[in-house]
């Protein structure tokens, strides 16, 4: 069933996206600087200590939504590279909390705090850690760097879904403490982070938004739990996503990505609005964005198809540039990327502003079963 918000959202967002970036009003005063970011740490289910930066909303912190920023994993990348800080400041001023973090093995997220859990658990352990250089040495390594993965970094990348799951669990705990509202979570990612994001969204549609009541006080341990019927899905909390030059790594088959939205999480397609942005002179970025828009989401289906057109999802080129990914951000380029992102999010949030905060009750992070979502072969 399509959400009632789609029609008004489509009108508002379409109008905002078609307008050129607005120029500052003559004589207008600059808003006060947003609150400085605060460094926070949190643990993944397999015991990796991740570090992030939390940018507090400048408006109504208790009820304001949160945006998660995702850079593409890879050697030399971390959350401080690119123009993410500039975008975070704009979003804070508009009334959004912003959270960005380093994937495991990146930046400051290199500590393995629970070596036994990390190296032996059945979800991210031996089957995936075989890609890490020095995995079989004793004593067990208590740190992880991208150089430890070498050429196998892309093969190991599906494990990063557990980092994003841990970030969501961390934000849900802040939600329960009254610091923000995870009833509306937005994703903004660049390049291959889009593939990680799509896989994680699929997992969210297979996880309860509120910790289920389990016998003997058992904690929710893995997505999906085979014996739990999911009614109120966490995927409904994902208010929207923006992808800058979305990309699919060659190691993730086309068929795998398509099955996420067609079979494993069919509600994702109509319930998670998306905006795909790319430079109009970036041929590769254009082709990849069109793959997600036309083939994965089938946002504009052919006449006679059973799928409905996605009026709340957009494919937009940024004129006059061959820039890609996070390079599309930043005031110096003056191509309007950040203005379009803010307009898109504001159009959605206008429809979701009345969604109330609800307790999540997840006291600890949980695993994502990579086999269930086709990113790790069964039996490994």
- What percent of the chain is modeled with pLDDT above 90? 79
Residue 12 and residue 18 in contact, taking contact as beta carbons nearer than 8 Å: no
User: What pLDDT digit, counting tens, does each position of 181-198 carry?
Assistant: 999 999 999 999 999 999
Q: How many CB atoms lie within 10 A of CB 219?
A: 11
- 15 — pLDDT class (breaks 50, 70, 90): low
- 180 — pLDDT class (breaks 50, 70, 90): very high
- 2 — pLDDT class (breaks 50, 70, 90): very low
pLDDT value at 12 more than 80:
no
DSSP H/E element including 101: strand 97-101
Higher per-residue pLDDT: 242 or 12: 242
Residue 212 and residue 219 in contact, taking contact as beta carbons nearer than 8 Å: no
- Mean pLDDT value across residues 320-343: 88
The HSE-up count of residue 200 (CA atoms within 13 Å, CB side) is 30
Residue 344 and residue 275 in contact, taking contact as beta carbons nearer than 8 Å: yes
- pLDDT (0 to 100) of residue 18: 53
CATH assignment of 6-21+30-373?
Answer: 3.40.50.1820
- 20 — pLDDT class (breaks 50, 70, 90): low
pLDDT value at 16 more than 90:
no
Instruction: Tell me if residue 119 falls in helix, strand or coil.
Output: helix
Q: Where are the alpha helices (DSSP H) in 69-192?
A: 84-94, 115-120, 126-129, 153-156, 161-176
Nearest to 321 by CA among 335, 309, 303: 335
Give the C-alpha separation, 344 to 243, whole Å.
12
Q: Report domain extents, the chain.
A: 6-21+30-373
User: What pLDDT digit, counting tens, does each position of 333-349 carry?
Assistant: 678 999 999 999 999 99
DSSP string, 163-217: HHHHHHHHHHHHHHTTS--TTSEEEEEETTHHHHHHHHHHHHTTSBSS----GGG
Q: Give me 190's structure tokens.
A: 């660049």
The HSE-up count of residue 181 (CA atoms within 13 Å, CB side) is 20
Q: Whole-prediction pTM value?
A: 0.94
Q: Which of 6-10, 87-91, 126-130, 214-218 has the lowest mean pLDDT?
A: 6-10
- Mean pLDDT value across residues 7-17: 55
What's the whole-number average pLDDT of the chain?
91
Instruction: Tell me if residue 24 falls in helix, strand or coil.
Output: coil
- pLDDT (0 to 100) of residue 359: 97
- φ/ψ of residue 48, rounded to 5: -95, 135
- pLDDT (0 to 100) of residue 305: 87
Parallel, antiparallel or unpaired: strands 111-112 and 38-43: unpaired
- pLDDT (0 to 100) of residue 378: 56
Give the C-alpha separation, 132 to 149, whole Å.
5
Give the C-alpha separation, 61 to 172, whole Å.
14
């Amino acid at each position: 069933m399509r959400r009632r918000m789609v029609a008004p959202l489509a009108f508002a967002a379409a109008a905002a996206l078609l307008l050129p970036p607005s120029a500052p009003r003559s004589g207008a005063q600059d808003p006060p600087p947003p609150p400085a970011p605060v460094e926070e740490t949190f643990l993944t289910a397999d015991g990796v200590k991740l570090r992030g930066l939390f940018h507090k909303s400048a408006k109504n912190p208790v009820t304001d939504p949160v945006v998660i920023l995702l850079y593409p994993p890879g050697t030399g990348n971390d959350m401080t590279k690119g123009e993410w800080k500039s975008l975070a400041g704009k979003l804070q001023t508009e009334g959004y909390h912003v959270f960005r973090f380093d994937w495991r093995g990146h930046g400051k997220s290199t500590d393995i705090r629970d070596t036994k859990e990390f190296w032996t658990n059945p979800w991210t352990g031996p089957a995936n850690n075989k890609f890490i250089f020095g995995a079989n040495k004793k004593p067990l390594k208590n740190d992880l760097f991208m150089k430890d993965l070498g050429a196998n970094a892309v093969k190991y990348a599906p494990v990063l879904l557990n980092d994003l799951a841990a970030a969501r669990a961390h934000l849900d705990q802040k939600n329960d403490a009254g610091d923000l509202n995870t009833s509306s979570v937005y994703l903004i990612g660049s390049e291959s982070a889009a593939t990680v994001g799509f896989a994680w969204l699929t997992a969210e549609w297979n996880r309860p938004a509120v910790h289920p009541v389990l016998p003997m006080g058992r904690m929710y341990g893995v997505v999906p739990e085979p014996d739990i019927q999911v009614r109120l899905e966490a995927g409904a909390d994902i208010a929207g996503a923006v992808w800058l030059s979305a990309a699919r790594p060659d190691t993730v088959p086309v068929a795998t990505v398509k099955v996420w939205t067609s079979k494993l999480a069919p509600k994702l397609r109509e319930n998670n609005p998306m905006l795909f942005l790319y430079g109009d002179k970036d041929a590769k970025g254009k082709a990849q964005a069109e793959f997600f828009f036309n083939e994965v989401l089938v946002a504009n289906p052919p006449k006679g198809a059973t799928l409905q057109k996605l009026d709340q999802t957009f494919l937009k080129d940024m004129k006059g540039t061959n820039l890609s990914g996070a390079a599309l951000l930043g005031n110096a380029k003056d191509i309007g990327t950040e203005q379009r992102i803010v307009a898109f999010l504001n159009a959605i949030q206008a429809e979701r502003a009345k969604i109330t905060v609800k307790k999540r009750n997840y006291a600890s992070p949980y695993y994502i079963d990579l086999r269930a979502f086709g990113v790790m072969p069964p039996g490994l």
